[in-house]
Amino acid sequence: MRIMVAEYAVGAGGDKGASLLREGKAMLTTLRSGFEGLDNEVVYPVAAPDFEAAVDKLSKESDAGIVIAPDDKLCDLTELVESNTVNLGCPSECVKICADKVRTTKILADKGIPAPKIVSEEEIGGDDTYVKKPRFGCASENVFILNGKENREHISFDDNHIVTEFIKGEDISSSVIAGDSAVLPLTINKQFIRMERERLIYEGGSVPYLVGRDAEEKIMSISKKVVALFNCKGYVGIDFVLGDDGTAYVVDVNPRPTTSIVGIAKVLNYGIADLILRAKFGTLPREEEVKTEGCFSFIKDKKYNR
């Protein structure tokens, strides 16, 4: 087949920042080598003046395609792929919902899936701690941890932000592959997050991350429920905070390949590209057949390490 892999940081060019460009190249390289290793031809936009036009053209010329892009652009680009060829990623309707953190959090809460509580302006106060982040955003951009008493004036309540309770615990994620009839858990991953004043900074991650059997079963069970709830397909990354009380709280649903695929490709006994194609065109392996060996870590602004 001819497969388009459209990664926004690489494909759109311009000043995306060295870290985002490095991550984008790593994800693009991982998928490209995986698909090519299965005797497919891979095409992708590079520094295109009009990224959307490039995706439109290449997807029309391809048998299948997948897009990696920021939340605010992913839905429109996915719709474009769906209109031109076979989409190997999540459906555009799923992308549209998951991109909206307010809508996603409310749906999770309504279905009884643990998620940080959205708080109103009237509830802010005292020494409680809150998370403020853009309603539409990714890569931990502009995420702040604020004290209600000291930072009340910096907590925005408008349609462009979401404010939730702060959950103390470990920052982790799960990686899963979803097909029409099965959901295959892959790995649990550690996210390296540091605080710079009140701002959270994502610095990379480690794949896989051991959290203990009980926590792993709980996280993967929730991941399957989330995938079914939003009708996710292909690769999905779900961000959690594993609370100090043992509860796994869903904080974000990423309906697209995430940086973790770079590590997964190194430690999993199945190729990530192979699994994405199996999810769409074939049959996924059984959970007990999927195993990891070794550990792979990624540190932003540095090299990948095994």
Q: Which domains does the chain have, with CATH numbers?
A: 2-88 (3.40.50.11770), 97-113+168-305 (3.30.470.20), 121-165 (no CATH)
> Residue range 268-297: average pLDDT?
97
Residue with the bigger pLDDT between 15 and 170: it is 170
For residues 90 and 233, the answer to whether their CB atoms sit within 8 Å is yes
Position 170 pLDDT exceeds 70: yes
Which residues lie closer than 8 Å to 1 by C-beta, 6 or more apart? 40, 41, 62, 63, 64
Average the pLDDT over each of 116-125, 150-159, 171-180, 245-254 and give the range with the smallest value: 150-159
Which pLDDT score, from 0 to 100, does residue 152 have? 62
Q: Does the pLDDT value for residue 108 go beyond 90?
A: yes
Cβ of 142: how many Cβ atoms within 10 Å?
12
Percent composition of the chain: helix, strand, coil (DSSP 3-state, to 5): 35, 30, 35
Residue 151's pLDDT band (boundaries 50, 70, 90)?
low
Coil, strand, or helix at residue 80? Answer: helix
Under the banding of pLDDT at 50, 70 and 90, the label for residue 139 is low
Structure tokens at 232: 């996710």
Average pLDDT, the chain: 92
pTM for this model (two decimals): 0.93
Task: Look at residue 274 in the predicted model and tell me its pLDDT.
Answer: 98
Confidence band for 156, pLDDT divided at 50, 70 and 90: low
- Identify the pLDDT of residue 196: 78
Q: How confident is the model at residue 142 (pLDDT cuts 50, 70, 90)?
A: confident
The answer to whether the beta carbons of residues 2 and 62 sit under 8 Å apart is yes
Q: Is 109 exposed, middle or buried (0-12, 13-18, 19+ CB in 10 A)?
A: middle
Average pLDDT of 29-43? 98
Which position has the token pair 């299965």? 38
